[in-house]
Amino acid sequence: MAGSALADEVIHLGSAFHTAGFRHVIGTLWRVTDGTATETARLFYDNLPPDLDADQAAQALHTTAVELRTRYPQFPARWAGYVHIGP
């Protein structure tokens, strides 16, 4: 619960993991359905390089979002809410 003293300070689950030391975190801006999360995770891991280079996570998420947008152009809730937090 934020107070008036720190009104511009925000912590959410994704930033908490990043603050805890995870270099790359994939999070969402809003709640997503299990089916959406499953499809996104599958595509995300398919889009990572074969050597699972974590430094390519942002690009893999972008590619995933573009693929989902192509499949579901009328349903941005399926592709627009994902964010990468990290370097």
pLDDT value for 22: 92
pLDDT value for 51: 85
Count Cβ atoms within 10 A of the Cβ of residue 8 and give its class: 0-12 exposed, 13-18 middle, 19 or more buried.
exposed
Q: What predicted TM-score, i.e. pTM, was given to this entire model?
A: 0.81
Total length of the chain: 87
Confidence of residue 1 (pLDDT cuts 50, 70, 90): low
